[in-house]
Amino acid sequence: MKYLVTGGAGFVGSTIVDRLVAQGHEVIAYDNLSTGNLKFLEQSKEHITFIKADLLDMPALTQAMRGVDFVFHMAANADIKDNLKNPTICLEQNTIATSNVLEAMRANNVKRIAFASTGSVYGEPDKFPTPETYTFPIQTSMYAASKLACEGLLQAYATGYGFQVFIFRFVSLMGERYTHGCVFDFSKKLLANAHELPILGNGKQRKSYLYIQDCMDALFIAIEKSSGNINIYNLGTEEYIEVNTIADMVCRELHLPNVKYIYSGGERGWVGDSPFILLDITKMKSLGWKPKLSIAQSVHKTIHWINENQWVLKERK
């Protein structure tokens, strides 16, 4: 089969590319390299077609989609903390970009797509773990609002044009090639200043994480085993971890026993930050999947990988 992976040089996208190549498929990695990195495609580069282009470039996207059987749409602006500085970025890079992907598919009669949504579409739920069928959500960030808009578009294309769509509501992912989030930020800050660690919020936020390879297993199992037109799955683990605990783990891994934590204060790290995320993964587990790594294990692997690949700390802002 021929696959197109948007964000194909990113953390999640490049890991999908590697899996598809290992399965012997034809793969197009599509990425504008705004946050993706060609180093992540080192191991697959001989076997794939890489297209450096933006999802807002409709002619390039439509051309790239020719003959494709299945799309993994992983490209996104995921810079949640800074959304309020420029609130239209998520509209453009997530919502409009997704509309473009769907239109390019339609123009080429491509009808199957897996989409990286987010557990933050649930806003600040009052039910934990939060199931896929949770009450009508209220959005608390531009990022989640833009992802919810994408979900709606995918569903409308499924109803209107017979697309088969897979919507995965991820918690934060960790592991090899991770370049974004609090383990990354903490590592970067501590390598610059080994005495103090600024922490956004009060450090008591409870977060969920999933190891990237567990996420990969889930994606491929769900796609293989789902036959409906519209398939929605939460992806996470059954645990959560406090931000303070993550800070402790990063300090321990970097052998820094005496770091002083400086809190910015408040229940949330930034406007729209969720004080608690824990998704109900019963539906995904009913397909025979479960995460192999605990959060602690995936945090550990992540810190280890960052420490061994400190170039990522320099390349990313």
Chain contacts with its own copies (rule: CB under 8 A):
83-84, 87-88, 91, 95-96, 99, 102-103, 106, 122-123, 132-142, 144-146, 148-149, 151-153, 155-157, 159-161, 230, 232, 271-272
Helices (H), 199-294: 212-225, 243-253, 282-285
| Shortest Cβ 103–its own copies spacing (Å) | 7
Q: Quick one: 48 or 104, whose CB is closer to its own copies?
A: 104
| Shortest Cβ 274–its own copies spacing (Å) | 11
Q: Quick one: 3 or 122, whose CB is closer to its own copies?
A: 122
Cα within 13 Å of Cα(91), Cβ side: 4
| Shortest Cβ 241–its own copies spacing (Å) | 25
235: β partners: 170
| Shortest Cβ 236–its own copies spacing (Å) | 16
Assess contact for 169 and 235: CB atoms under 8 A: yes
Q: Quick one: 272 or 291, whose CB is closer to its own copies?
A: 272
Q: Quick one: 37 or 274, whose CB is closer to its own copies?
A: 274
**CA distances (Å), origin 233, targets 27, 74, 166, 187, 252:** 24, 15, 8, 31, 34
How are beta strands 112-118 and 164-170 bridged, if at all?
A: parallel
Long-range CB contacts for residues 151-156, cutoff 8 Å, separation at least 24? 151/115, 151/117, 151/121, 151/232, 153/95, 153/98, 153/99, 153/102, 154/98, 154/102, 154/113, 154/115, 154/230, 155/230
| Shortest Cβ 179–its own copies spacing (Å) | 25
**CA distances (Å), origin 317, targets 30, 179, 289, 312:** 22, 10, 35, 9
Q: Quick one: 87 or 265, whose CB is closer to its own copies?
A: 87
Q: Quick one: 137 or 216, whose CB is closer to its own copies?
A: 137
| Shortest Cβ 140–its own copies spacing (Å) | 5
Q: Quick one: 64 or 105, whose CB is closer to its own copies?
A: 105
| Shortest Cβ 197–its own copies spacing (Å) | 26
Distance CA 83, CA 145 (A): 11
Count of beta carbons in the 10 Å neighbourhood of residue 316: 13
Q: Quick one: 15 or 95, whose CB is closer to its own copies?
A: 95
| Shortest Cβ 254–its own copies spacing (Å) | 34
Helices (H), 226-266: 243-253
91, two tokens? 């509209």
CB burial readout 73-100, b (16+ within 10 A) else e: bbbbbbbbbebeeeeebbeebbbbbbeb
Distance CA 291, CA 218 (A): 8
